[in-house]
Structure 1
Amino acid sequence: MNNLNDPPRWNIQPDPGGREGAAGDGNQWNYALLVPMLGLAAFRWIWTRESQTEIQRVKAQYDKDVSTIKSEMEARFRDTLIESRRAVAALELDLEKERQRVKGYQQALVSHTQHLIQERKQLDKEREALTDEKQRLVKSGAAGAALHDALDKEKGWYQRAMAALKELEGMLVERQNAYCSVIQPREQRLEMEKNILLKVVKDPAVAELDLESDLRDIFKRDKHCADLLNMDKRKNGSLMWVYLKYWQLQITVQKHKRAEEAISDGRIQSHPK
């Protein structure tokens, strides 16, 4: 029977030859494999340590780069924010200046319009007084006939003056439309204003009314424009329409004054009945 406690080459037997016979036995391979394994372990330990060092270095550089970029972005954001606040403050200042300027213009326009309305009322009173005087003179016989003749003489001037005023009204409408237009150039409007001033100076029908200063006042102060969708040019302007009515009254009053001057100077003779 086989000895189960001593199967052939199953159990490791003690070295019968001692240290001297070990070189010819299989145990020598254990020492041969130990050296590469130790070298591999050492290499792995070194590689792991170097890898950890590299990882720490890259991580530190990454954190540094992120911190630098963050600082630069924060600085740029602060600069942009400061510039934006400065721009907003400047715009608010300009807006307040424009509001004050518009407010001052509106107050001046209201005051000027009220002044013109008062003058118009005064002209209405003068016209009524002249009408009453005309009626009185008509009833007085010869003087009434003289006044009637004088008014007939001035009828031609009156019609020419009203026609010139009507033409001037059309020119002012076109000028105001050019002022309100976002397409027409400023130079074109200035040329219109120049032509209007030349007309009132050279046209004898309205030259004696001295409209130049009134027109310059319109060019300077009348900034009223209808809404952008407006197609009616006559809805533009505000002060110019007050002046036009004022000029009509001026022409009517001037007609009677010219007639009275003609009678006073003896150009119109009164003939008793």
Structure 2
Amino acid sequence: MNNLNDPPRWNIQPDPRERGEGGADGNQWNYALLVPMLGLAAFRWIWTRESQREIEKVKSKYNKDVFLVKSEMESRYEETLTERRRAVAALELELEKERQRVKGFKQAMISQSHHMVEERKRLQQEREWLEEEKQRYIKSGAGGAVLHQAMEQQNEWFQRANATLRELEAQLVERQNAYCSLILPRDKRLEMERNMLLKAVKEPVTDELNLEADLQDIFKRDKHCANLMNMDKRKNGSLMWVYLKYWQLQVTVQKHQRIEAAILARNIKPQTK
């Protein structure tokens, strides 16, 4: 049995014998193992230190890159935000201009409507007066013949004026359709406008009605268009229809004025002889 108080030498123990020539010295192996271990420890320390430096270097570069990217993104964001603000300001300015233009158009329409009402009242008064004159002349034998002859003479002018207005109405319908069309070129519409203005100056009937200024007002202000699915050209335009009614009233008034002037001229001539 083994003696537990005297266990065997499991570990390498120092040799109690003194070192000498030819003697077996076990301590040399211990020191031989210590040198590589110290070298390995030194290598690990150096390698750890260099690795730490590399890590710090990479972290510093990463932080710098992140800072640059962040700065660039913030700069782009500010530029984009500035551009968007400028665009919004420009759109608000254009919207305000459109509001003012629509407001001016509405005011012009209201003013023209008032003018039409006054003109209609005046026409009604003149018509009533002419009707009274007509009845008076009919009751007198010679006066009835003069009135009939004067009306026959002015009917030709009245029919010619109405035909001119119908032709002008068709041209205005085509012009407004060209204005509202997304296909027809702008030059086509401008050519239509030039032709209408030229005819308004050269045609005797339209020149008497002074249509040139009215047509220019229509070309400048009438921008009304029906919806995109509209197929009826006559639904386009707004101010042009008001002017057409006004011109028709003017033709009727001038017809009665011409008849009146013709009757008065016939009555004055016998008296002067």
- Shorter-normalised TM range: 0.7 to 0.9
Opposite residue 66 of structure 1, the aligned amino acid is V
**Alignment deviations for residues 143-170 of structure 1 (CA, whole Å, 9 cap, x no partner):** 1111111111222222222111111110
* 1:263 and 2:263 matched: yes
**Alignment deviations for residues 53-100 of structure 1 (CA, whole Å, 9 cap, x no partner):** 221222122222212322232233223223322332232233223322
Opposite residue 244 of structure 1, the aligned amino acid is L
Structure with bigger RCO (C-alpha 8 Å, 6+ apart):
1
Q: Which runs of 5+ in 1 are unaligned?
A: none
- In the aligned structure 2, how far is the partner of 1:51 from the partner of 1:255? 110
Match of 1:35 in 2: 35
Match of 1:47 in 2: 47
Distance 1:47 1:173, change over 3 A: same
| Sequence identity percentage | 69
**Alignment deviations for residues 22-57 of structure 1 (CA, whole Å, 9 cap, x no partner):** 764554332222211211111011101211122122
**2:19 aligns to what SS in structure 1?**
helix
- In the aligned structure 1, how far is the partner of 2:148 from the partner of 2:84? 76
- In the aligned structure 2, how far is the partner of 1:28 from the partner of 1:153? 151
Distance 1:114 1:23, change over 3 A: farther
**Alignment deviations for residues 164-198 of structure 1 (CA, whole Å, 9 cap, x no partner):** 11111101111111122222222211111111122
Opposite residue 254 of structure 1, the aligned amino acid is Q
Opposite residue 210 of structure 2, the aligned amino acid is D
Are the counterparts in 1 of residues 14 and 27 from structure 2 also a CA contact under 8 Å?
no
Are the counterparts in 1 of residues 225 and 236 from structure 2 also a CA contact under 8 Å?
yes
Range moving further from structure 2, 16-25 or 77-86: 16-25
Distance 1:90 1:203, change over 3 A: closer
Opposite residue 19 of structure 2, the aligned amino acid is R
Opposite residue 170 of structure 1, the aligned amino acid is A
**1:20 aligns to what SS in structure 2?**
coil
Are the counterparts in 2 of residues 134 and 144 from structure 1 also a CA contact under 8 Å?
yes
The aligned runs of 1:185-204 (5 Å cut-off) are: 185-204=185-204
Give me the CA root mean square deviation. 3.0
Match of 1:250 in 2: 250
Are the counterparts in 2 of residues 149 and 268 from structure 1 also a CA contact under 8 Å?
no
Range moving further from structure 2, 89-98 or 34-43: 89-98
The aligned runs of 1:203-214 (5 Å cut-off) are: 203-214=203-214
Match of 1:157 in 2: 157
- In the aligned structure 2, how far is the partner of 1:207 from the partner of 1:6? 143
Question: What is the TM-score normalised by the length of structure 1?
Answer: 0.85
Range moving further from structure 2, 217-226 or 259-268: 259-268
- In the aligned structure 2, how far is the partner of 1:112 from the partner of 1:125? 20
